[in-house]
Structure 1
Amino acid sequence: MGVKVKFGNGLTSSFWKDNWKANVPLCSKYHRLFHLDVNGDCSIDDRVHNGEWAWEWVRPIGPRYSSLLQEMKIELDNISLNNDVDRKVWSLSNEGVYKVRDIRALIDISILPSWNLATRWVKQLPRKINVFIWRVAWNRLPTRLNFLARGMDIEDIGCPLCDYNVESLDHLLFGCVMAKELWLKVKIWVDMDVARDCSSWSEWVSWFDSWSGASDSKTKLYVFVASLLWHIWRFRNSKLFGSNSMKKAFLFDSI
């Protein structure tokens, strides 16, 4: 993916190994036929004679591969060579020119989660909390489980707040005993089933988007919940790294 051959006379392009017709080289798509060719390194021009395809097999193509050959012929229909020189082009852009942004987009598609998620930027929240919530939404916080998933040698992957479960992001912010205590206080404070026993940020956002509250009420609730999660994360770091600046008894009051 990325580099593709734009053939002309077919003299310098490999019939089987270059990406010139399909989205993958023909040797990958029709690998059984490829292994029957007397010359796996043949050029496109080597396989054309008087405007017709000229095959050279190590043995006759029997019924077993005849349908496969017919399929490839259909795919290669209307292919004609010309006097232009073969050249390689960049297939990730319409202009055929290499661009770093195309590679970056490809990497993002390959690595980042594929589910559709709109970025929320709430002006009533400090920038650091908006960024924090973005990282929560994409599971990009440095929890112990995330470190382990990235190949780091972690002695203890337990939750530092309850020491009962693995410290995943969902557990820390929604499933931990301390988190559940704080969510219960939120329900009481706003006098509604705000969390609906959600076990992850995506579940809570789904509930929040379906809630038919007034715009002002929704903004206040979102700001409050974002602040709640921010303070849970700060308290976690305070306990994990030995700081005594945050006390659990006053955590809810500090939101």
Structure 2
Amino acid sequence: MAEVGEKMTNATPEELASMYASPSESEVDNVNYGARLSKPYMEGEGADTSGEHDGEWRWKSGGQIVDFSVRQIRVDLEEMMQPSTQIQQFKWSKIAVPKVNLFVWRAVNETIPTAVALAERGVHLGDTRCGACGVADETVSHLLASCVFARAVWWQVFVWCKIPIPASFDSLSQILSHCCSLDVDKKKEQIMYAICLMTVWCIWMHRNNKLFNGKNNSVSMVVEEIKTGTFWWMNRRRKRTDIDQPGRLEQLQRF
């Protein structure tokens, strides 16, 4: 180290210049390549650098300069990463707990781990038949809508709620749309929709209990779980404990 220092101290200007030679062509190319990579993000779908909004974060989305937000970036990234994916519209319930809202949203978009979905992802279970009826392949539409067990549960729930039974149970989205198109007041519609989400959740939990715990509850037992769960949601939301078991639907509508 001392030798290097002595060499630099005693070096002539020409020798110092040779020590600090200009960058090679490959190094220059690397710098220019990095600039080319960053340019589209600075001048295209990225930050606004026009100088018009100095001191503010701006974002160019769809050719327009908009206020910067993490949500807008997420939307733009989703459109770029999954241009062919169609996200189904889903109505979130203010009564249902977040876990159930999220699960039903995933079910509507067919991303829950049914037997068929797992097989398509390379998780081979050896049998893709429905965990509830054991007859047809376990898809989202079958398990939560058209399965014999699921249809029986939905039928009893609609009878309990005194609402028309849909002509067909082809898909979960169809059933949820039916629950949102009832000719009732807004408060009752919210309650009915929450009951539908609880029904989806309880059918899924019945399937899991049967597969993993060996518990095969009857349709009536699952319907009772739906009623109890919905009342628990309402009690938790309104912080009330004065609801009795008899006439539960009428009491729900008086909240």
Same fold judged by TM-score > 0.5? yes
Alpha-carbon separation, structure 1, partners of 2:110 and 2:120: 12
**Pair 1:119–1:188, CA change in 2 (3 A):** closer
Alpha-carbon separation, structure 2, partners of 1:228 and 1:208: 12
Deviation at 1:184, TM superposition (A): 1.3
**Pair 1:225–1:119, CA change in 2 (3 A):** closer
- The TM-score normalised by the length of structure 2 is 0.57
2:59 paired with 1:89: no
Q: Secondary structure at the match of 1:251?
A: helix
In the comparison of the two structures, how many residue pairs are matched? 169
Give the AA of the match of 1:148: A
Deviation at 1:172, TM superposition (A): 0.3
Alpha-carbon separation, structure 1, partners of 2:221 and 2:105: 26
Alpha-carbon separation, structure 2, partners of 1:178 and 1:109: 40
Deviations 1:79-133, CA, capped at 9 Å, x for gaps: xxxxxx9774224325489xxx75884346544832451451x232222212222
2:217 paired with 1:247: yes
Alpha-carbon separation, structure 1, partners of 2:109 and 2:80: 14
2:208 paired with 1:237: yes
- The percent of aligned pairs where both chains have the same amino acid is 23
Deviation at 1:251, TM superposition (A): 1.4
Tell me if structure 2 keeps the 8 A contact 1:144–1:157.
Answer: yes
Q: Which has the higher helix share?
A: 2
Q: Aligned to 2:174, which of 164, 182, 203?
A: 203
Q: Aligned to 2:86, which of 109, 114, 120?
A: 114
1:1-255 matches, within 5 Å, as: 88-90=39-41, 91-95=44-48, 105-107=76-78, 110-111=81-82, 113-115=85-87, 117-120=89-92, 122-244=93-215, 247-248=217-218, 249-255=220-226
Alpha-carbon separation, structure 2, partners of 1:132 and 1:86: 43
Give me the CA root mean square deviation. 3.1
Alpha-carbon separation, structure 1, partners of 2:125 and 2:162: 41
Alpha-carbon separation, structure 1, partners of 2:158 and 2:193: 13
Give the AA of the match of 2:40: V
- The TM-score normalised by the length of structure 1 is 0.57
Tell me if structure 2 keeps the 8 A contact 1:186–1:194.
Answer: no
Tell me if structure 2 keeps the 8 A contact 1:187–1:195.
Answer: no
Alpha-carbon separation, structure 2, partners of 1:172 and 1:148: 15
Deviation at 1:191, TM superposition (A): 2.3
Deviation at 1:168, TM superposition (A): 0.3
Tell me if structure 2 keeps the 8 A contact 1:158–1:166.
Answer: yes
Give the AA of the match of 1:152: V
Alpha-carbon separation, structure 1, partners of 2:76 and 2:123: 26
Alpha-carbon separation, structure 2, partners of 1:251 and 1:125: 17
Give the AA of the match of 1:161: A
Which residues of structure 1 form unaligned runs of 5+?
Answer: 1-11, 13-17, 19-84
Alpha-carbon separation, structure 2, partners of 1:95 and 1:130: 37
Tell me if structure 1 keeps the 8 A contact 2:130–2:138.
Answer: yes
Alpha-carbon separation, structure 2, partners of 1:134 and 1:250: 25
